[in-house]
Amino acid sequence: MRVGLLALLLLPAVAAAAEVPVWSEEFNTPGPPSASTWSYDLGAGGWGNGELQEYTANEDNVRVAGNVDGAEGGALVITAREQAGKGKNRRGFTSARLRTQDKFHFKFGVLKARIQVPNVANGLWPAFWLLGNNFSTVGWPASGELDIMEMGHRDAISAGVVNRRVGSAAHWDFNGDYAGYGRFADAPADLTSGWHEFSIEWTPDFVETRIDGGWIWRIDIANPQCGCEEFQLPHFIILNLAVGGYYPGITSANGITAPLPAEYKIDWIRLYANEHTVMGGGGGPSAVVVDSIAAGVTGRKRVKATADLSLRDNLGDPVAGAQVTVQFTGGYNESVQVTTGSDGSARAQSSGSGNDVPFSACVTAIDSSLVYSGSGDCDTYP
């Protein structure tokens, strides 16, 4: 949510993270956002950016809606509205800003969100970003900030591409002074008419952002010239829709021409682990993953197929009481359901027996209170 440029070295691409989320927010329960995950920034005063709106927690400004058109279920809806201003300000605005501070934070991994932005022309400023988890103690910019997606920049307004241009940036403390590095990417068409996937890949060596798989921006955070140790520490998630400010270059209410009310919609947010991912916070578990699966056999002449498996949640704890469907293929071709024990483990076994022949065992479904988005959780015997 800040602006500044400092050129840094870039790195070549590396392998993407696993395609099973270790944490997710699906926004499928209508009503207010989950209090176990989300808190609000409230009030006016510009937020250090010359913003014109007042942030509220009112349902008129923020809610989870069910059956949103084009969403994969429900969606978080942040709505910017116009209201009568006070004193000389004849126009006033309200909106919302949500954060996972003290409830969920992480460092490293691939974070993705499926988003539909409103018409931002001119004066709206939607953002999806990360702020250092130590912000409350060290302040900004020493906390570090990673902007995954921002729209509505003043240069995009001047160029006539404000609904096509996406910005990403990093902000940090460099020897006691502010440092920042950002870039923009222009989509071939307006981004306001459909859903788009915005993502950040974060490792100890680099940070990279993308839209619909296409590259936006990349920074080398391992380069000693960077001095950006902030990005080796956990960050939390922020979603907000600002009205006016230094970013769009509009600090007068009369300069806001974007259609209001305006809805900023988030279908889901999902974190995929890489080998460095660390998570924490007070929020409860939200996703389940197959920690391990091993195919085997039991018996001698007429053997039965087995699959020993273990489940854990996105916080690393065992998942008990989950009903798991395992599909045996090859010489057995049978679907079996088992329930995990207190240690998160279970053994699936075919009811039929046969010869000792090759087969595969795959988890096809997990029935629990946590989200399972897995695929490819299989093992082959022998």
The residues assigned a catalytic role are 145, 150
With tokens 């222009």, the residue in question is 186
Kind and range of the H or E element at 156?
helix 154-159
Strand partners, 171: 145, 180
- Joined together, the tokens standing for residue 363 give 């988890």
Contact of 359 with 326, CB cutoff 8 Å: no
Cα 345 from Cα 290, distance rounded (Å): 10
Residue for token digits 């900004």? 140
Rounded alpha-carbon distances, angstroms, from residue 240 to 19, 33, 62, 310: 27, 13, 10, 38
* Residue pair 381/359 in contact by the 8 Å Cβ criterion: yes
What does the block give as tokens for 105?
């934070």
Closest alpha carbon to 349 in 340, 358, 361? 361
What would the two tokens of residue 267 be? Answer: 């279908």
Spatial separation of the C-alpha atoms in residues 289 and 297, rounded to whole Å: 24
Nearest to 264 by CA among 125, 91, 131: 125
Q: Which amino acid is at 204?
A: P
**DSSP letter at 154?**
H
8 A C-beta contact, residue 118 and residue 146: no
φ and ψ at 170, to 5 degrees?
-125, 145
The rounded distance, in Å, linking the Cα atoms of 307 and 283 is 32
Provide CB contacts within 8 A for 23, sequence distance 6+.
104, 106, 270, 271, 279, 286, 287, 314
